[in-house]
Structure 1
Amino acid sequence: MTPNLILLQIDATNFWIVNWYYIMAVLIGLISLTFAIKNYYKKNKEATSNNPINSIIQPKTSQKNIINIEVNSNSSSKTDKSDNGDLADLRTLKIDSIKHKVHILFIDDDTKFSVVKALKNSGWKKTSSVIDIKSIDIPIIKETDIFFVDINGVGKLLNCQYEGLDIALMLKQKYPNKKVIIYSANNTSYSFHKAWDICDYKLEKNAIFYQFQSLVEKYGLELYS
């Protein structure tokens, strides 16, 4: 019994010396494990770089989809333009169809006012002008759809104090369904006059022809559509 105890005591005391091969084996195992872990993370990192998470979460849009989107967008734009063009063509056709119906009268002492001739040349054949009127019940007044009245230089035959403004006021009050446009080279004349408020439109005499034509088209369509 005694020799065995002494042998055990020797083994316990000299554990690191006697069992060095166990220690080396453990160290080698730890080193190998460390290298294995590093190698694992390295490979995993490379795999992540080659296949980023964003590409999984947000996959690349197919080129076909992009092309389809662009084609559909262009088609929609072309459709809108086509619709607008069709509406414009339809409006033009309507205007052409009423040109022979609309009666237009200019009451202006300027016999050379170029807008009158320009409207006739544009197809509005029932456009006429007078330098003044002696009554608002004469046939030419009754048959007129659109009046253009110069506020200066007319109304003398009716002894109108405010000239064309008085005529315009009488026309609108007598024929509320007719269109009355007043114009003048001096649009500040008698600014208090009621005609400025009840007439359909106010225009400068030196306005471009297109403004007169646009009003004729607008009111013509309202009256005959």
Structure 2
Amino acid sequence: MKNIIHNTVTLLIGFVGLIGGLIWGYYSKWEFEPVILSIISFLEIIAYFTVPKDKKNNKELTQKSKNKNSQKVEVTVNNFSEPTQSEKKPSIKDKNALIETKKDKIGILFIDDDKNFNIVKILKDSDWKKTKTITDIKSLDINQVKNSEIIFVDINGVGKILNLEYEGLDLALMLKQKYPEKKIIIYSANKNSYSFHEAWDVVDSRLEKNALPYQFQNLVENYSLEFYN
């Protein structure tokens, strides 16, 4: 009942009924019907402003609002759930297992005029099956280069066939410019070889020639993870 009294439409009907009843009563010399209509309409208007609203309904509305808000909070919390196993960083064990799958796929090339450089043998003994070495190259398009994802270039004693002024540095720069997707690493026994050459800035990494074998192997392992995924 209180919902009807406090309905805005009921209030408007009350005003229309009051005005209409007064006009009707004036022209009908205040007959019984218009007087009754005016009184009822007037009482409707008075009731709208004087009868208190139903507190129970207000509580229900408030409770419904709280329930909606709590549902929103629950949804928000669920959005920040724990990451799945696939989203977590791989463990060392998983990483090593993945590296093992790369060993028969990744081509590794050493361009070095030193035939006794033992890193090549160490990598082969570690099952990097596609490891090769050549003393120099006559073209950037030879198969050994095309079929290798990781290329190590000694900066001294190579690049002579191509008449390169800065030998291995020029060769490494040319390889990186022609094959930006390949990993080019330069190494040398001479620490002060043309330190301002552009190759030092564009290659993927550099090592001393007498670096630990593990340092060469570590580069191979880390770079191998970027191929054939």
TM-score by length of 2: 0.60
Q: Given the alignment of the two structures, is residue 89 of structure 1 paired with residue 93 of structure 2, yes or no? A: yes
Partner residue of 1:143 out of 131, 147, 154: 147
Gaps of 5+ in 1: 1-82
Deviations along 1:76-114, one digit per CA (max 9) or x if unpaired, are: xxxxxxx99x71111111000010000000000000100
**How far apart, in 1, do the equivalents of 2:191 and 2:181 lie?**
24
Q: Given the alignment of the two structures, is residue 215 of structure 1 paired with residue 199 of structure 2, yes or no? A: no
Q: Secondary structure at the match of 1:224?
A: coil
Q: Which amino acid aligns with 1:211?
A: Q
1:125 alignment partner in structure 2:
129
Q: Which runs of 4+ in 1 moved over 6 A?
A: none
**How far apart, in 2, do the equivalents of 1:189 and 1:102 lie?**
30
Q: Given the alignment of the two structures, is residue 134 of structure 1 paired with residue 138 of structure 2, yes or no? A: yes
Q: Secondary structure at the match of 1:133?
A: coil
Q: Which amino acid aligns with 1:161?
A: E
Q: After the TM superposition, which residues 193-204 of structure 1 pair with which residues of structure 2 at under 5 Å, given as runs?
A: 193-204=197-208
Structure that is richer in helix per residue:
1
> Paired residues, what number?
142
1:190 alignment partner in structure 2:
194
Q: Which amino acid aligns with 2:121?
A: K
Q: Which amino acid aligns with 2:192?
A: T
Gaps of 5+ in 2: 1-87
Q: Return the offset for 1:147.
A: 0.4
Deviations along 1:161-181, one digit per CA (max 9) or x if unpaired, are: 000001000000000000000
Q: Given the alignment of the two structures, is residue 103 of structure 1 paired with residue 107 of structure 2, yes or no? A: yes
- Name the Cα RMSD after superposition: 1.4
**How far apart, in 1, do the equivalents of 2:98 and 2:137 lie?**
32
Find the structure with the greater CA-based Rg. Answer: 1
**How far apart, in 1, do the equivalents of 2:177 and 2:101 lie?**
29
Q: After the TM superposition, which residues 161-176 of structure 1 pair with which residues of structure 2 at under 5 Å, given as runs?
A: 161-176=165-180
1:205 alignment partner in structure 2:
209
Q: Which amino acid aligns with 2:186?
A: I
Q: After the TM superposition, which residues 2-13 of structure 1 pair with which residues of structure 2 at under 5 Å, given as runs?
A: none
- Cα distance, 1:187–1:224 mapped onto 2, change above 3 Å: farther
Q: Secondary structure at the match of 1:222?
A: coil
Q: Which amino acid aligns with 2:142?
A: I
**How far apart, in 2, do the equivalents of 1:126 and 1:139 lie?**
13
**How far apart, in 2, do the equivalents of 1:120 and 1:165 lie?**
26
Partner residue of 1:177 out of 175, 181, 190: 181
Q: Return the offset for 1:219.
A: 0.4
Q: Secondary structure at the match of 2:132?
A: strand
Q: Secondary structure at the match of 2:227?
A: helix
Q: Secondary structure at the match of 1:91?
A: helix
Q: Secondary structure at the match of 1:191?
A: coil
The share of aligned pairs that are identical, in percent, is: 61
**How far apart, in 2, do the equivalents of 1:145 and 1:113 lie?**
20
